[in-house]
Structure 1
Amino acid sequence: MSFRCLEQVARKFLQYNTASGITTSIRSSDIEGSLRTWNNSVIAIRNALTHSDQHGKAKMVDVSDKVPTKREATASAIVSLQQDTFKLLQDNQLKKGDVLSVATLAGIMGAKECHRLIPLCHHVPLSNVKLNLSLNEESNAVNIAGTAVSVGQTGVEMEALTAVSIAALTIYDMCKGVSQNIVIGDIQLLEKKGGKSGHYRKSASSAT
């Protein structure tokens, strides 16, 4: 709803109260001031969102004026399995084959195709994509960590996140013949380096 529409609704409310003999301490100027404050806040938020224009429409960010620099990002995900499914994966006994190897390749391929999957992502020239899949016997889970590296004009957080997400989905696909009771979770950015926003590292105290 636009600022003008909200203002009209507020004034109609005051007019109704006046006509009905309802006493209120709210003045027209109070409403107008509050609405303008709200409107300015919305404008500030909209301007801070780089993937929307002044009208709130989706747009791609123009990075043509940025100087290429080294960018790096690391993300993670966890795939939780039932104990019998985990055991089959651990022993490489699943019918679809070597789950960890296939998932690793799928994650790398996913990072390369990120711009095709996420509408407003740029086609980033990746220098390297690394995935590490490890088995956690205590929780019957596969821990996935993925790192994307590029020398370019925009970050590679989405490429790292896509890599671990596609790897996790591949594990699901290769294990679902045994059990659909599989949970993919904790997909998150762990660290990013380079770019205007600088170095980010997820703190140990951050909520997961």
Structure 2
Amino acid sequence: MEYPQYDPQSEHLPLSDEELSTLDDMLGRLPNEDAMNIEALDGYLAGLLLSPQPLQTLAGATWLPPVWGGDGAGEGEHHPFVSGKQKKRVQLLVLRHLRAIAWQWQAKPELWEPIFSIAEQDEGEEDLVDAEVWALGFMAAVELAPAAWAALFADAQTGPLLAPIAQLGSEGDKLSDGERDELSRAVLDKVLQLWALRSST
């Protein structure tokens, strides 16, 4: 089965809110518990773009199927899509969102808004940000190349930048709402710092 490759020069028009909702809905309707929602997907794509392994060198068959929980290659598993058209539509939306993130980081990082959960509070109280699901998606990208990422987590410069993501992705359910909010708010700037470091090497 053939998969598209990531092309850094492809269309970078950001998905509209309606298209993001459509993609989230399409993934949510798949008969696979491991399919990502839009928050996890957003984090996963960010992790792929920051990976020490350049995404354009990675086969689409390696990184695309985890988005929808796999292609059902194992015994007793079933292909999650009802048609090739449905699968192609999901792939195109994923690739466009991926390319839009990369373009924003390169050209207008101040426009980048990661997709986090927001818990609205009572009037007069600040809303709580929750990037746990986003971080879980990011760590799924890390798992595709754990040896390559290990050096970044151990590095004195990049390790602290990755720390909030790693903590949210591994201990999110153990954190208080306040702790989760504090770590989540740190993610945006730290991801942009990681991208700046990657781009300068």
Shorter-chain TM-score tier:
under 0.3
Taking structure 1 as the reference length, the TM-score comes to 0.22
Structure that is richer in strand per residue: 1
TM-score (norm 2): 0.22
Q: Which has the larger radius of gyration?
A: 1
Higher helix share: 2
